[in-house]
A = this chain, B = another copy of it.
Amino acid sequence: MAFTHRAHMTQRLAIGIDLGGTHCRAGAVDAEGAIVAQRLCEVGRNRSVDAIVQLVVSLVDELQAELATGDRRPATAVGIGVPGIVEWSEGLVHKAPHFPEWDRVPLAALLRDRLGVPVAIDNDANVVALGELWQGAARELTHCCVLTFGTGIGGALVIDRQVFRGDAGFAGEVGHFTIQFDGPPCACGSAGCWELYASATGMRQLIASSNDPAKAAFLQLFDGNLDRVQPAQILALARDGNIFASTLWKKFGAYCGAGIASLVNITGLHHVVIGGGLSGAWEYFIGETERAIARRTYRATADRIRLHRATLGQSAGIIGAARLMRCLSA
C-alpha cells in the first residue's frame, strides 16, 4: 500500500480541458489515460478572452488544489480543445463561433503566462481524435477519420496514428464541405454545408421543412416550439415508438452516410469513428447511414468501410487534451 501511494505521488499528470459552447470540462489525467480528478462548469454570458482565460485558470487551480489534497504532485502541463479554427503550431485561435469577439487570440501564450506551465491548444475535434486514438475506439487503427455529431459536425483525419493537420492546422473542417450546392446559407459564410443537415441543427431543419401530417402532433409535445426540440428528446420519443421521431433519425442517418461516403471517396480512409451527442442514437440511424454509404461509394470501397462507435463519450475531450502535450507516456 505504501508503494502504491508513492507511485501516486510520483506519477506525472497533465490537465486536459474541453472548452465547449455551453460547458467547460477539465480533468487531471495520469500517464495511463485515467482521469483522476475532474470539474465541470458552465460557460457564462461573458465570452471575452479575459473571461474565458479566467475560467480556465480557476478550473486548473481547483484541480491542482484537489491533487495536492490527495498527496499527488501537481499537473505539469495543460492541453485545451477549442471549438474553432485553431493554428496549433502557434497556439492561436483564429475564429470560434461560440466566442464571437475572438479574432486571432494567442490563447496558449495567454494561459502559459497565467499558469506557469506549458500549454497546448488544438481544435476540439482533433482533441477528441487524440483521446479516441489513445484510449478509445481508434486504439488499434492506423488511419481513420474521427467525426463528432452534435450542434455541428467536428472532424479529424488520422494518418499513421497522427492527427493530420494540413498546411496550417485546419484539416478536418468536414462540417463545411458543400453537400447541397444550392442549399441554405451557413453561419460560416458558405451554403449547403454538411453540418446544416447531419447535426442537431439539421434535425430541427428537417422538422421545419417536413410536410408529414404527423409533424403537428410531434411538435405539440414541445408546445409547438421547434427550438425546444433536442436530439436527446427525439431519441427518447423514437425509443417510445414515435414514428415521426424514428423517421427523423433515418433522415439524419442518410445525410450522415452521404457525407461519410464523400469523405471516404476523397481521403481513402476506410475506418470511421463516430462520436458526439447524436451518436447516442446509433441503432436508430446507423442502418440508413450504411445504406447511403453503400449507394454512394464504389463496391470495392464500400466493402472495406468500417464504422466504429466512439467509446469515450464526454471524456474524450479531456483525455485527448491531456494527451496533447505528449508529456505522458503512450
Q: Which residues of A contact B (CB under 8 A)?
A: 85, 87, 94-95, 143, 155, 157, 159, 164-174, 176-183, 188-191, 197, 255, 258-259, 261-263, 265-271, 295-301, 304
Q: Can you tell how many copies of this chain the complex includes? A: 2
In angstroms, Cα B116 to Cα A70, docked, is 72
In angstroms, Cα B269 to Cα A155, docked, is 15
The answer to whether A179 and B176 touch across the interface, beta carbons within 8 angstroms, is no
Min C-beta distance of A226 to chain B, whole Å: 22
The answer to whether A304 and B268 touch across the interface, beta carbons within 8 angstroms, is no
Q: Determine the chain B residues whose CB is within 8 A of the CB of A188 once the complex forms.
A: 298
The answer to whether A159 and B170 touch across the interface, beta carbons within 8 angstroms, is no
- Nearest first, the 9 closest Cβ-Cβ pairs linking A and B are A166-B268, A171-B268, A177-B262, A190-B296, A173-B265, A167-B270, A94-B300, A176-B265, A180-B181
Out of B85, B87, B171, B304, which one reaches A266, CB within 8 Å? B171
Min C-beta distance of A85 to chain B, whole Å: 5
Nearest B-chain residue to A296, judged by Cβ: B190
Min C-beta distance of A127 to chain B, whole Å: 16
Min C-beta distance of A270 to chain B, whole Å: 4
In angstroms, Cα B267 to Cα A177, docked, is 10
Min C-beta distance of A82 to chain B, whole Å: 14
The answer to whether B164 and A268 touch across the interface, beta carbons within 8 angstroms, is yes
The answer to whether B261 and A190 touch across the interface, beta carbons within 8 angstroms, is yes
Q: Determine the chain B residues whose CB is within 8 A of the CB of A87 once the complex forms.
A: 300
Q: 10 extra interchain contacts, Cβ-Cβ under 8 A, other than A167-B270, A171-B267, A266-B266?
A: A95-B298, A143-B166, A155-B266, A165-B268, A176-B297, A177-B261, A177-B263, A179-B179, A180-B182, A181-B197
